[in-house]
Structure 1
Amino acid sequence: MTKVVCALLVLLLTGCSSQPQKPVEPVQGVPPAEDSFPSASMKGRALYMLCTGGYEFPVNVQKDEAWIFLPEGAKRLVRKETADGAAIFSNGEYSLWGKGNNGMFQVNDKRPEQCRNQPEKAVWVEAKLRGADFRAAGNKPGWTLELSLQGNTVFVGDHGKTRALFKTTKPVTDASKRTSTYRLNNGHQQITVQIEGKACNDTISGEPFDTSVTVHYGGQTYKGCGRAL
């Protein structure tokens, strides 16, 4: 995360980790999660690979290349075609290949590790690649929010039936309550987003988060959890 993001969200989070900067442009037109390894006609998408051997990393797959984000840094892999339709990306040191949600990952001449895409984590990678600095989500009904500090805030509610776009403006912060409140208006709609530095668990998966989020939009209140990206 950049220093700017860390500074603006310091009231909400216990700390910001230093992640390598991705040398890729925000991905547009992300295809459905079930097609993990895109064909040559697809523009690109994000994966989150969980592999044997203790490997776990985000991936940005493009038409002719893939970027993998490892603890030692971002690595660019070049696509190679195969007769059976599986996608192989390699740079000579790291290799990633697969079909559907399954794949394999190899470092140099070591034994290949079995991998599987984790769609529930990949959506957070996708948001970051689109340029979001913060993402939140909730259930019943399902909703998501992506917030870019230097760009827009996008709210998607009621399982995708409701969509709204707002220019992100400076929030009102309360250090004693550890909250940041965004009140946004696009000329036709209004939305209030309160981000609070309080522990939160997803109501379906139970996944823990450090941040609770409350959204007021269209006469309804949406509650969920979020994190800085």
Structure 2
Amino acid sequence: VLLLAAVLSGCAGAQGKVSVLQEEPSGQTPAHVYVCADGNRFVSKQEGSRLWLFLPGKTLALQAQQNTEGVVYGNDGITLSGNGGERAQLRIDGQPKSDCRLDRRQSIWESAKLNGVDFRAVGNEPGWHLEIRNGQSIELVSNYGEDTYRFAAPQPVVDRQSGTSVYHARNAGHELTVTLRLGPCRDSMSGESFETSVELQLDGKLLQGCGRALH
């Protein structure tokens, strides 16, 4: 959290409440995380006719190819079919990896990371998520996706003794305080573990959850 606080900077600015946030912001494409039965994991991200494939220790740009299976992406002895679906087949030197299935939860976090999000947090009742992007903006999506608020990211106030970083942001119609506190945190619904607890005050309303740095 302290490292994140050191690199995020900006000044408070305006853009008020906006319409419901789409699954991916305009101009950004989702990433897909596949987990295979043999324990292997890979990430794919589409860019036009090119598909970026992130393997352990290797990143490849695969080109679209057409065959009897439909659209297949390939390069350097590696091919991928079924990208974006519930199942995908990865072949390395002609040998298929076993039963690779889409992990939707991991895909959301990987998409955020690859699209420039530095820190992401989630909470429940009502469901919300917050993203600090490129050290320049803070976006809060609350009320189960119905309300979106955007702020310029201010310089955080850091207390190294307590391990907290606090952002005070405001726009034309709303005020947001984000408190990041280093320490174990467990999501109240999924049970997923995080390293940072998060407290939000939006126009005086309290929201609590967990988060992690993505870079």
- TM-score, structure 1 normalization: 0.77
Greater percentage in strand: 2
Q: Give CA deviations for 1:47-77 in whole Å, capped at 9, x if unaligned.
A: 1110132211222123312112222132111
Separation of aligned partners in 1, 2:95 and 2:69: 23
Q: List structure 1 segments (4+ residues) > 6 angstroms apart after TM superposition.
A: none
Q: Give CA deviations for 1:76-100 in whole Å, capped at 9, x if unaligned.
A: 1112234554x42111332221162
**Which residue is equivalent to 2:206?**
221
| Helix, strand or coil at the partner of 2:189 | coil
Q: Which amino acid letter does the alignment assign opposite residue 180 of structure 2?
A: I
Separation of aligned partners in 2, 1:44 and 1:79: 17
| Helix, strand or coil at the partner of 1:199 | strand
**Which residue is equivalent to 2:148?**
163
**Which residue is equivalent to 2:160?**
175
Higher relative contact order (CA 8 A, sep 6+): 2
Q: For residues 40-119 of structure 1, what are the structure 2 equivalents within 5 Å?
A: 44-83=29-68, 85=70, 87-98=71-82, 100-119=85-104
Q: Is the alpha carbon distance of 1:191 and 1:161 closer, same or farther for their aligned partners in structure 2, counting shifts above 3 Å? A: same
Q: Is the alpha carbon distance of 1:216 and 1:6 closer, same or farther for their aligned partners in structure 2, counting shifts above 3 Å? A: closer
Separation of aligned partners in 2, 1:84 and 1:114: 17
Q: Which stretch of structure 1 is more off in the superposition, 114-123 or 101-110?
A: 101-110
Q: Is the 8 Å Cα contact of residues 43 and 63 (structure 1) preserved in structure 2?
A: no
Q: Is the alpha carbon distance of 1:30 and 1:156 closer, same or farther for their aligned partners in structure 2, counting shifts above 3 Å? A: closer
**Which residue is equivalent to 1:36?**
none
Q: Which amino acid letter does the alignment assign opposite residue 90 of structure 1?
A: G
Separation of aligned partners in 2, 1:57 and 1:107: 12
| Structure 1 unaligned residues grouped into runs of 5+ | 11-28, 32-41
| Structure 2 unaligned residues grouped into runs of 5+ | 7-21
In the TM superposition, what is the alpha-carbon distance from 1:106 to its structure 2 partner? 1.6
| Helix, strand or coil at the partner of 2:113 | helix
**Which residue is equivalent to 1:201?**
186
Q: Is the 8 Å Cα contact of residues 2 and 165 (structure 2) preserved in structure 1?
A: no
Separation of aligned partners in 2, 1:129 and 1:43: 9
Q: Is the 8 Å Cα contact of residues 47 and 119 (structure 1) preserved in structure 2?
A: yes
Percent identity of paired positions between Structure 1 and Structure 2: 32
**Which residue is equivalent to 2:108?**
123
Separation of aligned partners in 2, 1:164 and 1:135: 15
Q: Is the 8 Å Cα contact of residues 38 and 97 (structure 2) preserved in structure 1?
A: no
Separation of aligned partners in 2, 1:120 and 1:8: 23
User: Would you say how many aligned residue pairs link Structure 1 and Structure 2?
Assistant: 196
Q: Is the alpha carbon distance of 1:105 and 1:122 closer, same or farther for their aligned partners in structure 2, counting shifts above 3 Å? A: same
**Which residue is equivalent to 1:134?**
119
- TM-score, structure 2 normalization: 0.82
Q: Which amino acid letter does the alignment assign opposite residue 129 of structure 1?
A: L
Separation of aligned partners in 1, 2:181 and 2:37: 36
